[in-house]
Amino acid sequence: TVKMILDVDTGIDDALAVAYAAASPEIDLLGITVSYGMAPVDYTFRNTSVILESLKHNIPVYKGADKPLRRAKEYGGEFHGMDGLGETLGEITSVPDYGKSAVDFIIEQAHLHKQDLTIVTTGPLTNLAQAIVKDPAIVDMVGRVVTMGGAVMTPGNASKFAEANIIIDPEAAELVFKTELPITLVSLDVTRKTLLTAEDVLRWREKGTEVGAFFADFTEFYLKEYKKYHPYLKGCALHDPLAVGVAKNPALVRTIPMFIKVDLEEDALGRTTEDLYRTHPNEPTSHICIQVEAEQFMDDFFGLVEKSMGE
Ligand code: BDR
Ligand code: CA
Q: Looking at the CA of 6, which ligand is closest?
A: 2
Report the pLDDT value the prediction gives residue 222, as an integer from 0 to 100: 97
Q: What is the CA radius of gyration of the chain?
A: 18
- 79 pocket-lining for ligand 1 (C-beta < 6 Å): yes
Atom 10, ligand 1: residue with shortest CA distance? 164
Tell me the per-residue pLDDT of 174-219, one tens digit each, with 9 for 90 and over: 999 999 999 999 999 999 999 999 999 999 999 999 999 999 999 9
Q: Is 205 exposed, middle or buried (0-12, 13-18, 19+ CB in 10 A)?
A: middle
Tell me the per-residue pLDDT of 7-64, one tens digit each, with 9 for 90 and over: 999 999 999 999 999 999 999 999 999 999 999 999 999 999 999 999 999 999 999 9
* Residue 263 appears among annotated catalytic residues: no
Residue 173 CA, ligand 1 centroid: distance in Å: 14
Taking the C-alpha atoms of 145, 151, 156 and 162 in order, what is their torsion angle to the nearest 10 degrees?
Answer: 60
Atom 2, ligand 1: residue with shortest CA distance? 164
Tell me the per-residue pLDDT of 119-169, one tens digit each, with 9 for 90 and over: 999 999 999 999 999 999 999 999 999 999 999 999 999 999 999 999 999
CA dist., res. 298 & res. 3, Å (int): 22
Provide the terminal-to-terminal Cα distance of the chain, rounded to the nearest Å: 27
Residue 207 CA, ligand 1 centroid: distance in Å: 27
Model-level pTM greater than 0.95? Answer: yes
Kindly provide the ipTM of the predicted complex, given to two decimals: 0.99
CA dist., res. 41 & res. 45, Å (int): 6
Side-chain half-sphere CA neighbours of 247 within 13 A = 36
Q: Over 90: is that where the pLDDT of 297 sits?
A: yes
Tell me the per-residue pLDDT of 258-269, one tens digit each, with 9 for 90 and over: 999 999 999 999
